Amino acid sequence: MHFKLIIAFVDSDKTDDILHAAREEGATGSTVISQARGEGLESSKTFLGLSIETPRDVLLLLVEQHLARAIIERIAKAGEFDRDDQEGIAFQIDVEDAVGIAHQIKALEATVEEKI
């Protein structure tokens, strides 16, 4: 079984909805890193020298490669990434090797067989 790592940078108020959508599409778990900060094309706005930013979370999802594209599309929809350039970003990278996921592989085998 081969895996992809989906990394998503999202508004913290949308994290639960995005994780729920990813799980519905076949994701078996995630790691959330809270209080991340990022910048897009333009610098963040400030008011009297204080930064005005929406709190962000970084979501890490190790998913089976055949499910990855559907999960990333579902994440984008749940997070409304196409609404404007400040909503979030998600991408996937190949995973060479992973350990500690044997318990998830059995659950994934049935799911992947259904999808492909």
CB atoms within 10 A of CB 114: 8
Question: Using one digit for the tens of pLDDT, what is the confidence trace for 83-103?
Answer: 877 788 999 999 998 888 877
Q: What is the mean pLDDT of residues 62-79?
A: 95
Beta strands across the sheet bearing 56-64: 31-36, 56-64, 3-11, 88-95
pLDDT of residue 40: 62
Q: Which fold has domain 3-39+48-115?
A: Alpha-Beta Plaits (3.30.70)
User: Domain segments of the chain: what residues?
Assistant: 3-39+48-115
Q: pTM higher than 0.85 for the full model?
A: no
Q: What is the mean pLDDT of residues 75-84?
A: 91
